[in-house]
Amino acid sequence: MISRINNYSGRSLFIQLFFVLGFFFLITRLFYIQIFQDDFIEGKIDSRLIHKDSLPAKRGQILDRNGRVLALDVTGYTLEVDLDLFDPNPDQILSLVNILNIEQSSIVEKLNKKNRYRVLKRHIKEEEKNRIEILGLKGIHYRQNLKRNYPQMEISSHVVGITDTERIGIQGTELVFNRLLMGKDGVFTGVKSPIGFMEGYRDSPQDGSNLKLTIDTDSLNCTADEYAEALEAEGIIPSYGPYPLGIPELGPLYKHPFLTEPNLYGNSRFPLDYNREIPIDYSKVKNTYGEKLMSGGITIPMQPSFSEEYIGQIIDANRKVATAFK
């Protein structure tokens, strides 16, 4: 009996000692974190309370020598929905389809996704935003953004160039002077709360610099097509518009058989189908923006076989046509 009591007392003492040591190590760890890892704790708290939002800088304008705007940023909105709150009736869905000018099946497909937050459309105009707000839909959010716009597209597109969807220059003047035009994005840092942002700090964006070109968009009173037709009358055959191959019956470049079939290297589809997650069928493509952009350009093909006399004729013909349209 005494032996059993002693064994029980020994086990009890061991368990008590184990809990005491565990408690001691826990207290020691808490003191260590509080004293030596205070920044770590504050960082964890801030990551749950502090919200940062980018403030895009406006890209600089591109102007001609007379101050006419050739390229500028316009304000738009990205339309987002919170599927936990967004519950439109059929009439409201139809109204959204008409306002946004998109297929009803596209909206339904996006609303059936598992993600809580979905983007319905990017770069909607202020007018469209106001019309949607009248519908009184819950779960609708608007995120302001910027889009590049080219008011004189047909006249100056071949010189000004274009930007990508992130407003980064990829062609022409937009590419060459990209650093000058870009500017520097700002940031808004706010403290979250159940009722929104209580306070915050705004680091304002620095807009890009404007760029004034020496071209004069008023110097020629004609379109690219009219200029090309006048050159043809002088015996110079240019390629212009959305048909850079000089074969109008084929349509735009992306309608050419080497893309629509495709047929670049015999029966091989490389590189058009190389590691593509979503295959592209060029026979179904319609790039209205690209066609409009290309319609402002004129190409005069040059061949090594051209004599100096013929090149002189090309120069004289351009001078004659340019003078006639001034």
Q: 173-214, pLDDT tens digit by residue? A: 888 899 999 989 888 777 665 555 556 777 888 999 999 887
CB atoms within 10 A of CB 306: 12
CA distance 306 to 326: 29
pLDDT (average), residues 143-157: 78
Rounded to two decimals, what is the model's pTM?
0.50
> 109: helix, coil or strand?
helix
Least confident of 109-113, 178-182, 238-242: 238-242
Least confident of 10-14, 44-48, 135-139, 223-227: 44-48
Q: How far is CA 136 from CA 77, 99, 130, 133, in A?
A: 17, 14, 11, 6
Question: Residue 180 has which token pair?
Answer: 């000058």
pLDDT (average), residues 136-149: 86
Task: Name the residue among 181, 200, 160, 174 with its Cα closest to residue 52.
Answer: 200
Task: Name the residue among 212, 168, 172, 147 with its Cα closest to residue 293.
Answer: 172
Residue 250 has pLDDT above 60, yes or no: yes
Tens of pLDDT, residues 268-318: 666 666 565 666 666 666 767 666 666 667 778 778 888 889 888 988 998
Question: Residue 222 has which token pair?
Answer: 């004609």
Task: Name the residue among 160, 154, 148, 158 with its Cα closest to residue 64.
Answer: 160
Residue 4 has pLDDT above 60, yes or no: no
Task: Name the residue among 123, 139, 127, 141 with its Cα closest to residue 77.
Answer: 123
Cis link prior to 262 (omega < 30° from 0)? yes
